[in-house]
């Protein structure tokens, strides 16, 4: 197994250092009990304690500093107390680096049945076996503590867009009350942080009230929730532009559930530090590759006799050492290696994009690097 978790007394304090800015783009480092996170950062999603189709060491080799896990899924299977009994999620999945866990509210609304939201919390039926469960701000943090996650998220309510203003206001104000309860319930072991989540839909006044309320309570970092829920990209960017400046510059900013490479590039440009999305892993299992020159659908017959790798210049073996013809064959036949290789390609591409942006901000060349990346995407895969 991996090295034993750092004893609480040795763990460094949770922190964020801002090293450089270029316009509104930021380059920083988050410090946690399980190590440092270079920002801007992309978190591969490991919902059930695994980044699907990859070994943890492969994920690490792509440059990922932190993974995302889900309270909702892990509380149902295998159960938070069971994971704690196995030494916590880091040891359970053999990932000795930082882990962030989502709080479960969003997943309940998108997956569970018979959901009921009250002031106390949310009750729901498991989408797995119909069993009944309750999540409150306090229980969500208890679960995240049992999992041992380094960055814990408050329980919140995310409304789908478009929504009417009263609905967005109600959910935002409930989330703020749950934020205060989360702060009171959070026993942050050394090196562990609690993030508040800004809500307010696409209404800039509600977003400003939510941000101000969270800053008043005080968190180790601030997430922008309620986005990537069906709104156009320009609406998401407008909300980020209205919200980011209202958040403390010396705390990480995390845009939840985002997104495509284009969304991430625009988010970094507007001052976002952390991202997560199922896109690279899910797309890999469906035969879709992300490359420097855009997306390549390996199901397409045009690849059947193409001897070229996806990207001969990549340092990811999956993008460099196999032909498109072979990848096409694996995808068409539904072979497991197809999902494994394309997941590896995609996670490695997302990490190479983040690494390129971190260097661009450090060297004051963000605008020209952004333009070159967008030109390469426009050129397309030839």
Ligand X SMILES: Nc1nc(=O)c2cc3nc(NCCN4CCCCC4)[nH]c3cc2[nH]1
Taking contact as CB under 6 A, which single stretch among the options 76-84, 237-245, 274-282, 302-310 is the one that binds ligand X? 274-282
By rule CB under 6 A, what string of x and - marks binding of each residue 196-215 to ligand X? -x------------------
Residue bearing tokens 């929730």: 225
> According to the binding rule CB under 6 A, does residue 279 interact with ligand X?
yes
CB nearer ligand X, residue 86 or residue 110: 110
Taking contact as CB under 6 A, which single stretch among the options 102-110, 161-169, 300-308, 309-317 is the one that binds ligand X? 102-110
CB nearer ligand X, residue 43 or residue 360: 43
Query: What does the block give as tokens for 162?
Result: 């478009």
CA-based R_g, the chain, Å: 20
Count of residues binding ligand X (CB under 6 A)? 18
Residue bearing tokens 């680096």: 97
The distance of closest approach from Cβ of residue 106 to ligand X in the complex, given in angstroms and rounded to an integer, is: 3
> According to the binding rule CB under 6 A, does residue 283 interact with ligand X?
no
The distance of closest approach from Cβ of residue 265 to ligand X in the complex, given in angstroms and rounded to an integer, is: 16
Instruction: Write the CB contacts of 254 (distance below 8 Å, at least 6 apart in sequence).
Output: 100, 195, 221, 222, 223, 224, 272, 273, 274, 275, 276
Q: What is d(CA 349, CA 310) in angstroms, rounded to the nearest whole number? A: 11
CB nearer ligand X, residue 66 or residue 361: 66
> For residue 382, how far is the Cα from the chain centroid?
31
Q: What is d(CA 215, CA 243) in angstroms, rounded to the nearest whole number? A: 12
> According to the binding rule CB under 6 A, does residue 239 interact with ligand X?
no
> According to the binding rule CB under 6 A, does residue 195 interact with ligand X?
no
Query: What does the block give as tokens for 95?
Result: 């990932």
Taking contact as CB under 6 A, which single stretch among the options 127-135, 222-230, 313-321, 361-369 is the one that binds ligand X? 222-230
Considering only 272, 277, 296, 327, the residue that binds ligand X (CB under 6 A) is 277
Burial (Cβ within 10 Å: 0-12, 13-18, ≥19) of residue 294: middle
- Secondary structure element (H or E) that encloses residue 294, with its range: strand 294-297
> According to the binding rule CB under 6 A, does residue 102 interact with ligand X?
yes
> According to the binding rule CB under 6 A, does residue 156 interact with ligand X?
yes
276 noted as active-site residue? yes
Choosing from 22, 102, 263, 311, the catalytic residue is: 102
> According to the binding rule CB under 6 A, does residue 65 interact with ligand X?
no
DSSP letters for 6-55:
PPTTTSPPPEEEEEEEETTEEEEEEEETTEEEEESEEEEB-TTSS-TTS-
Choosing from 22, 220, 263, 276, the catalytic residue is: 276
Q: Which residues are catalytic?
A: 102, 276
Kindly list the residues in this chain that would bind ligand X in the complex (CB under 6 A). 102-103, 105-106, 153, 156, 158, 197, 225-229, 256-257, 277-279
């Amino acid at each position: 197994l991996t090295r034993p978790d750092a004893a609480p007394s040795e763990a460094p304090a949770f922190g964020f250092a801002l090293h450089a800015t270029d316009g509104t783009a930021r380059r920083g480092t988050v410090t946690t009990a399980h190590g440092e996170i270079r920002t801007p950062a992309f978190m591969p999603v490991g919902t059930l304690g695994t980044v699907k189709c990859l070994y943890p060491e492969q994920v690490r080799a792509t440059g990922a500093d932190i993974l995302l896990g889900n309270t909702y899924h892990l509380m149902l299977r295998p159960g938070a107390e069971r994971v704690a009994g196995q030494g916590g999620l880091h040891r359970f999945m053999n990932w000795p680096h930082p882990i962030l866990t989502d709080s479960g509210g969003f997943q309940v609304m998108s997956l569970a049945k018979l959901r009921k939201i009250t002031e106390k919390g949310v009750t729901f039926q498991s989408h797995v076996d119909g069993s009944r469960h309750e999540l409150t701000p306090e229980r969500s943090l208890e679960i995240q503590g049992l999992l041992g996650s380094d960055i814990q998220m408050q329980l919140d309510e995310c409304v789908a867009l478009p929504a009417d203003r009263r609905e967005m206001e109600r959910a935002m104000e409930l989330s703020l009350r749950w934020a205060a309860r989360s702060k009171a319930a959070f026993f942050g072991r050394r090196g562990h942080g609690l993030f508040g989540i800004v809500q307010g839909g696409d209404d800039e006044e509600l977003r400003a009230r939510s941000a101000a309320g969270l800053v008043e309570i005080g968190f180790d970092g601030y997430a922008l929730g309620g986005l990537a829920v069906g709104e156009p990209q320009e609406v998401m960017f407008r909300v980020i532009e209205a919200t980011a400046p209202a958040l403390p510059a010396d705390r990480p900013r995390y845009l939840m559930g985002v997104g495509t490479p284009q969304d991430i590039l625009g988010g970094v440009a507007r001052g976002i530090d952390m991202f997560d999305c199922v896109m690279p892993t899910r797309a890999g299992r469906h035969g879709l590759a992300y490359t420097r020159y855009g997306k390549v659908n390996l199901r397409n017959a045009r690849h059947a006799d193409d001897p070229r790798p996806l990207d001969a210049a990549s340092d990811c073996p999956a993008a460099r050492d196999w032909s498109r013809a072979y990848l096409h064959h694996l995808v068409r036949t539904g072979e497991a290696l197809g999902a494994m290789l394309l997941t590896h390609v995609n996670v490695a591409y997302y990490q190479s994009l983040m690494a390129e942006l971190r260097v661009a901000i450090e060297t004051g060349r963000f605008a020209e690097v952004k333009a070159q990346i967008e030109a390469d995407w426009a050129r397309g895969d030839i």
